């Protein structure tokens, strides 16, 4: 049995780029879904325009879709598609996978971190494990994936726990 390679923590810029990539993926799926719904609605006589109820429903659906996207990926693999592309994953401090409750808590605090003009993300710049408010509140860290090239360059004295 081999010991996992200790890896460092992903920083502010990498995580920000990952969040932008994930936001783009979420938006693309939302726009394609909305277009498909409008196409089907047009077959039944709806000819454009949007009312307040449709706008509220659309915003709620987008929020639910965003939550499902992040919670599902963090719970199942620890990585969103952007995390996989950039080579980082969300884990517990001991290196284990996070559960659904922790992922939901992390998502909720991630939204709050962004609402305060991004102030909740600023601790990433000064924390020794590069944790934002959402990581502190959910008990998570964002580590370089032990299979990424960054893992070889970033070593940290806290090893990952065996999976």
Please state the pTM of the whole predicted model: 0.82
Give 3-state DSSP helix, strand, coil % of the chain, rounded to 5: 60, 5, 35
How is the chain split into domains, by residue range? Answer: 12-152
Distance, in Å, from the CA atom of 99 to the CA atom of 78, rounded to the nearest integer, reads: 10
Distance, in Å, from the CA atom of 99 to the CA atom of 91, rounded to the nearest integer, reads: 10
- pLDDT tens for each residue of the chain, 163 residues long: 544 545 699 999 999 999 999 999 999 999 999 889 888 888 888 776 777 888 898 899 999 999 999 999 999 999 999 999 999 999 999 999 999 999 999 999 999 999 989 999 999 999 999 999 999 999 999 999 876 555 445 544 444 444 4
Task: Give the residue among 122, 148, 149, 141 at the shortest CA–CA distance from 16.
Answer: 122
Distance, in Å, from the CA atom of 59 to the CA atom of 98, rounded to the nearest integer, reads: 28
Around Cβ 159, how many Cβ atoms within 10 Å? 15
């Amino acid at each position: 049995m081999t010991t996992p390679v200790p890896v460092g923590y992903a920083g502010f810029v990498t995580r920000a780029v990952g969040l932008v990539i994930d936001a783009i993926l979420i938006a693309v799926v939302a726009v394609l879904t909305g277009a498909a719904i409008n196409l089907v609605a047009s077959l039944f006589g709806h000819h454009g325009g949007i009312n307040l109820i449709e706008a509220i429903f659309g915003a709620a659906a987008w929020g639910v879709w965003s939550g499902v996207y992040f919670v599902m990926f963090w719970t199942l693999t620890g990585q969103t598609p952007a995390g996989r592309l950039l080579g980082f994953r969300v884990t517990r401090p001991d290196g284990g996978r996070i559960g659904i409750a922790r992922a939901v808590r992390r998502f909720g605090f991630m939204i709050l971190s962004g609402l305060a003009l991004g102030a909740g993300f600023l601790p990433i710049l000064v924390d020794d494990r590069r944790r934002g408010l959402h990581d502190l509140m959910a008990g998570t860290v964002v580590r370089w994936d032990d299979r990424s090239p960054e893992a070889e360059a970033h070593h940290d004295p806290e090893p990952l726990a065996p999976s």
